[in-house]
């Protein structure tokens, strides 16, 4: 199972929000590329980046920071937030981003997701953000009547790389991953699932490892890494995937 440190971007800085609330923000660093380098040296083999400003604006707002991260670390980067057009997807992929995450676009513009998967098979990740099992969009400001499972099944036949499933009630709260909902989603699909939201400690990693065979390929870890509640090297040793420190050079 891949352990993926999260870097959330706001105003060019590395931050964390509580439950996606822009009024509850904590700044953890003014140099996102340096933060990515730190996690890489800690053993990370993949970085998860979200343009928070972009998610509200509907278009990229922290492209320069994303570019700096991609050019600085030698490990693959996945990016989401404010990606609503094929041109934006193409731009990020040409920039060196390995995977682009589509969330709101999947709900509001199915043809965009379908065309993106056709043009770039295996390079698109579907981001499902849910509260009480129902999908939320537009930086989590709008809830829908559709369940995460129903939406995922609708796009299951596309050439998606994976699905990121975030429980937004738990995101940034360090209250524990919604293991039951993550397992149910993974078991309902043929696509691999990446868990996100609420990781509080090493026990969450242990519980997710127990359901890895259900189709859970990874977990995104945010606040728990920044507060020190989880040590990335320790978590990597737990799941047997400790990676050596990587050289850096873009």
Asked if residue 244 has pLDDT above 50, the reply is no
76 assigned to some structural domain:
yes
100 assigned to some structural domain:
yes
Structural domain including 114 reads: 2-238
Asked if residue 242 has pLDDT above 50, the reply is no
Q: Which of 8, 51, 68, 167 is catalytic?
A: 8
pTM metric for this prediction: 0.88
Q: Over range 87-102, report the average pLDDT.
A: 98
Q: Is 60 helix (H, G, I), strand (E, B) or coil?
A: coil
Reported as half-sphere exposure (CB side, CA atoms, 13 A), residue 133 has a value of: 8
Band of residue 240 on the pLDDT scale cut at 50, 70, 90: low
Total domains present in the chain: 1
Q: Over range 178-193, report the average pLDDT.
A: 94
In the residue annotation, 132 being an active-site residue is answered as: no
Cβ-count burial of 60 within 10 angstroms (0-12 exposed, 13-18 middle, 19+ buried)? buried
Asked if residue 70 has pLDDT above 60, the reply is yes
Render 13-55 in DSSP notation, one character per residue: EEEEEETTEEEEEEEEES-HHHHHHHHHHTT-S-EEEEEHHHH
Q: What is the CATH number of the domain that holds 92?
A: 3.20.20.70
Average pLDDT across the chain, whole number: 87
Q: Over range 62-68, report the average pLDDT.
A: 97
Q: Over range 77-82, report the average pLDDT.
A: 96
250 assigned to some structural domain:
no
Question: How far is the C-alpha of 195 from the C-alpha of 117, rounded, in Å?
Answer: 21
Which residues are bridge partners to 29 per DSSP?
14
pLDDT of 108-160, one tens digit each? 789 999 999 999 999 999 998 887 667 765 444 445 557 888 889 999 999 99
**What pLDDT, on a 0 to 100 scale, did the predictor assign at position 105?**
74
**Terminal-to-terminal C-alpha distance of the chain:** 25
116 assigned to some structural domain:
yes
79 assigned to some structural domain:
yes
In the residue annotation, 129 being an active-site residue is answered as: yes
Determine if residue 89 is left, alpha or beta; phi over 0 gives left, psi from -120 to 50 gives alpha, anything else beta.
alpha
Q: Which of 53, 68, 129, 204 is catalytic?
A: 129
Q: Is 196 helix (H, G, I), strand (E, B) or coil?
A: strand
């Amino acid at each position: 199972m891949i352990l993926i440190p999260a870097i959330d971007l706001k105003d060019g800085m590395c931050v964390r929000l509580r439950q996606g609330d822009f009024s509850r923000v904590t700044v953890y660093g003014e140099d996102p590329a340096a933060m990515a380098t730190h996690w890489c040296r800690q053993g990370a083999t993949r970085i998860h980046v979200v343009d928070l400003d972009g998610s509200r604006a509907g278009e990229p707002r922290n492209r320069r920071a994303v570019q700096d991260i991609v050019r600085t670390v030698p490990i693959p980067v996945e990016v989401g937030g404010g990606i609503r057009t094929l041109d934006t997807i193409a731009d990020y992929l040409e920039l060196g981003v390995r995977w682009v995450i589509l969330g709101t676009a999947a709900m509001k513009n199915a043809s965009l997701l379908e065309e993106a998967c056709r043009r770039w098979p295996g390079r698109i990740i579907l981001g499902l953000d849910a509260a009480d099992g129902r999908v939320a969009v537009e930086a989590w400001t709008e809830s829908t009547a559709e369940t995460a499972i129903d939406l995922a099944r609708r796009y299951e036949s596309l050439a998606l790389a994976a699905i990121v499933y975030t429980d937004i009630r738990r995101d940034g709260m360090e209250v524990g991953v919604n293991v039951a909902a993550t397992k149910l989603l993974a078991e309902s699909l043929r696509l691999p699932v990446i868990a996100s939201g609420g990781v509080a400690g090493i026990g969450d990693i242990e519980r997710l490892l127990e359901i890895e065979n259900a189709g859970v390929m990874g977990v995104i870890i945010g606040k728990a890494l920044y507060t020190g509640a989880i040590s990335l090297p320790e978590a990597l040793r737990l799941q047997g995937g400790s990676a050596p420190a990587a050289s850096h050079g873009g």
